[in-house]
Amino acid sequence: MATRLQHYIGGEWVDSNAPTSHPVTNPATGQVIADCPLGTATELDAAVRSARKAFETWRRVPAQDRIQYLFRLKTLMDAHAEELAAIVTLENGKTLSEALGSVKRGIQMVEVACGAPSLMMGQALEDIARGIDCESVRQPMGVFACIAPFNFPAMVPLWFFPFAVACGNTFVCKPSEQTPLSQRFIWKLIDEAGFPPGVLNLVNGGKDCVEAICDHPDIEGVSFVGSSPVAELVYARAASKMKRVQALGGAKNFIIVMPDAEMKHTTENVCESAFGCAGERCLAASVILAVGDAHEAVREGLKRNMEAIVIGDGSKPGVTMGPVINAAAKERVLKYIEMGIAEGAELVVDGREAKVPGEGFFIGPTLFDQVTPDMRIASEEIFGPVLCIQRVASLDEALAVTKAQPLANANSIFTQSGKAARQFRYEVDASMAGVNIGVAAPMSFFSFGGAKGSFFGDSKAHGREAFDFFTDRKVLISRW
Ligand code: NAD
């Protein structure tokens, strides 16, 4: 029988009484590897109560002392990074090197959160009027919670909880029920780091648990990462309960390739962007907008690079692309491939032909050409290894195509022209923008998040904005 996972509440591992659960599978083999209870509102409430109680003392711990726990967590995560990466690969399917990269990005969040004593500082000005001084301080607010997606099971919760607790808040994390094992491992390290009971809590669950988080009166703020329809639901529901919300949603990422782009570099980067993590990245290239003469070189370069991709179990050496997350995801991607053919796009490389023995959820890298803006494959998030090429006549036309899209997470341009690059960065809607970069991923000390239908809220994830999201700014005006 697969291990039934526990919650971590008030510094203890506790069994769940939830009547329903989700089987966690290894996407490379289809084997069930754990049983994730779908935690109830009562269980979530127990975690929130524990966090609320811990807040009373944790907020009084000096920031300099709070971060000592994070330093210990960072040291433990460094020591166990490869073990954690192996768990990410086991439950998510991405290759070991992709998994290790994501773990390292996660550890960097802890490092930046350790800057809290400086980054949490307020402002002061003497004599705002004669003999009157004014200062603003940042104060923690109470209990925060995060709701995470399946695709970066170790990294995404780290975008939030290190910053929240460094600021003096306490926290409840709900990982994806599809990939809960990485956070279980991180919470074992949290336990070892010795955080006071109740500061960091882990509750496994699905939709009901998410709704309980949105509704709970003692949760001050919610950080969500996942698909746009759910991001919108969570944003509206939690905000209607007067919470702070940052909800990072889905993506349809465009890459503009100008005729003057350095084609070898461009096609290598675009190929890695589209097919890394089997396309299950919110920063994955989805549509190439090939400007004018760029088209032929882009198409041929991509085909060449795609031939070198080795599909298989991500835990095996030499494999460069793993499976998608589950049978339903595979089914959805296959439907999009059929839809692209029916819509009249040219299927240049057919990922359906890729065969990997066993019961894993594999699809090969797929390339469509002659894609037009009216096709669903050109505008909907596929979230799998499918890349489209659309021809456009000019940079203006390319930018107009991106502006017509509801999602605006990450877009890039490949060019050797400073003028084109400037026009792109000035006009593009996506708020993560790359110049000659295929995956425009802001690091821990910058903020992460898209625009339009890809993001609901105002403060984005990590970087300095995390210190805005996780604190209230209190202004004190004094005359003596
Ligand atoms: P998802 O929206 O299905 O699930 C995300 C979380 O919401 C999970 O914890 C899940 O339990 C919960 N959930 C699912 N359906 C729900 C519902 N109806 N009501 C309440 N809660 C619900 O997303 P996913 O499939 O796990 O992740 C993939 C998506 O996440 C993609 O769309 C991807 O683009 C997006 N993503 C975005 C970013 C970003 O930074 N913008 C980063 C990673 C992933």
Give residue 1's pLDDT.
76
Per DSSP, the three-state class of 66 is helix
* CB-side neighbour CA atoms (13 Å) of 473: 12
Q: How many Å apart are CA 393 and CA 396, to the nearest integer?
A: 8
Enter the pTM of the model: 0.98
Place of tokens 């006071």: 196
Residue 134 catalytic?
no
CB distance 204 to ligand 1 below 6 Å: no
Ligand 1 atom closest to Cα of residue 178: 26
Gap between the Cα atoms of 458 and 221, Å rounded: 13
- Give pLDDT, residue 79: 98
- Ligand 1 contacts CB of residue 322 (under 6 A): no
Is there an atom of ligand 1 within 6 Å of 282 CB? Answer: yes
Q: Is the shortest distance between the CB of 206 and ligand 1 below 6 Å?
A: yes
Q: Which domains does the chain have, with CATH numbers?
A: 7-249+454-479 (3.40.605.10), 253-435 (3.40.309.10)
Closest CA to 73 of 251, 192, 245: 192
- DSSP-assigned states of every residue in 145-212: EEE--SSSTTHHHHTTHHHHHHTT-EEEEE--TTS-HHHHHHHHHHHHHTPPTTSEEE---SHHHHHH
Report the nearest atom of ligand 1 relative to the CA of 229.
2
How far does the centroid of ligand 1 lie from the alpha carbon of residue 149, in Å?
4
- Contact predicate 290/70, CB 8 Å: no
C-alpha–C-alpha distance, residues 153 and 286, integer Å: 22
With tokens 């402002």, the residue in question is: 123
Determine the residue of 146, 151, 431, 452 to mutate for testing ligand 1's pocket, defined as the one with the most ligand atoms within 8 A of the Cβ atom: 151
- The pLDDT, as a whole number, for residue 284 is 98
How far does the centroid of ligand 1 lie from the alpha carbon of residue 218, in Å?
23
177 lines ligand 1 (CB under 6 A): yes
Read off the pLDDT of residues 81-140 as tens digits, 9 standing for 90 and up: 999 999 999 999 999 999 999 999 999 999 999 999 999 999 999 999 999 999 999 999
d(CA 429, CA 409): 8
Query: What was the pLDDT predicted at 409?
Result: 98
Q: What is the pLDDT of residues 141-191, one digit of tens each?
A: 999 999 999 999 999 999 999 999 999 999 999 999 999 999 999 999 999
Give the tokens for residue 366. 């797929």
How far is the C-alpha of 432 from the C-alpha of 430, rounded, in Å? 6
- Return the pLDDT at 12: 98
pLDDT in tens, 289-313: 999 999 999 999 999 999 999 999 9
DSSP state of 281: S
Kindly give the parts of the chain with pLDDT less than 70.
none
Partners of residue 389 on adjacent β-strands: 288
Question: Does the Cβ of 278 fall within 6 Å of ligand 1?
Answer: no
Q: Whose CA is nearest to atom 22 of ligand 1?
A: 207
Nearest CA to ligand 1 atom 36: 226
Span from the CA of 207 to the centroid of ligand 1 (angstroms): 11
Give dist(CA 266, CA 255) in Å, integer: 10
Signed CA dihedral, 380, 383, 384, 388: sign only: positive
